[in-house]
Amino acid sequence: MPVLNRFERRGPVQGEAVVEYLDGDFRVVKPGAFVRCAVTRQQIPVDELRYWDVDLQEAYASREAALERLGVTRKS
């Protein structure tokens, strides 16, 4: 049975992460490569996550998706 050095990695983390969204930050509860946008359902790489709602505990792929979820419409 091979023993890994504590500095060796087992490979890239894959799958969907479980994240707790906090004010101005988030905490990864279960490691993964991405989270899903609550509006578009597209995959958002965890290292590119910028928009979320603390109360709803949801991630958003873009500012527009977040505004759409919150029912905000832009006036032209």
**pLDDT (tens digit, 9 = 90+) per residue, 29-49?**
999 999 999 999 999 999 999
User: Is 76 domain-assigned?
Assistant: no
CB 24 within 8 A of CB 34: no
Name the residue range of residue 31's domain: 18-62
CB 66 within 8 A of CB 58: no
Tokens matching residue 48: 């590119």
Enter the pTM of the model: 0.77
Residue 76 in this model has a pLDDT that exceeds 50: no
User: Is 50 domain-assigned?
Assistant: yes
Per the structure, how many domains does the chain have?
1
Q: What is the pLDDT of residue 45?
A: 98
Token match 């890239």: residue?
A: 12
